[in-house]
Amino acid sequence: MARVNPYLHFSGNCEEAFNFYKSVFGGEFLILQRFSEAPSDVPSPESDAARIMHVALPIGEGQVLMGSDRPSSMGPTTSGDNVHLRVSPYSTEGARRIFDMLSEGGQITMPFEKAVGGAGFGMCTDRFGVNWMVKYDPNEGTSASKRWWRG
């Protein structure tokens, strides 16, 4: 079995974005390393010294959100609409709080509302251009839900 962790790239505002995500999800960074801390055999322009080379923030059981600033030599990042990060809090209230915080200053694609079976669901793009799906489903993880996922 493998574990998948989202890894986000930014064009110089990774630290700002991850401090924002820390305020949403809580917790402490497992690592926050700047390009200035890279080994001497890893070439890095002085203009990238303060940029984030790697950051990791636990956001749930076994889940870690990771990211970095893209080195300036690679040009700016391009935000796309083909990736969404899905977060599934353990309560409707938690899902609503996370959705409200993520969407503040961003754009709501689908308002957080009650859906079929008591689930709450919403979609937004945060102020850093990252697409999020927030869902609370009281039935997720039950045998009925597992049957649905298998078809």
Q: Which whole number is the average pLDDT over 91-108? A: 95
124 phi, psi to nearest 5 deg: -155, 165
CATH of residue 60's domain is 3.30.720.100
From 72, 103, 131, the end of a domain falls on 72
Q: Is the pLDDT of residue 146 over 80?
A: no
CA distances in angstroms from 4 to 29, 50, 85, 127, 144, listed in the order given: 18, 28, 11, 24, 24
Q: Does the residue 30 lie in any domain? A: yes
Q: Which whole number is the average pLDDT over 43-49? A: 85
CATH of residue 138's domain is 3.10.180.10
What's residue 43's pLDDT? 73
Q: Is the pLDDT of residue 143 over 70?
A: no
> Who has greater pLDDT, 143 or 58?
58
Q: How does the average pLDDT of the chain come out, rounded? A: 85
Q: Are residues 10 and 40 in the same domain?
A: yes
SS3 per residue for the chain: CCCCCCEEEECCCHHHHHHHHHHHHCCCCCEEEEHHHCCCCCCCCHHHCCCEEEEEEEEECCEEEEEEECCHHHCCCCCCCCCEEEECCCCHHHHHHHHHHHHCCCEEEEEEEECHHHCEEEEEECCCCCEEEEEECCCCCCHHHHHHHHC
* pTM summary value: 0.78
Q: Are residues 68 and 30 in the same domain?
A: yes
Going by pLDDT thresholds of 50, 70 and 90, the confidence category of residue 149 is very low
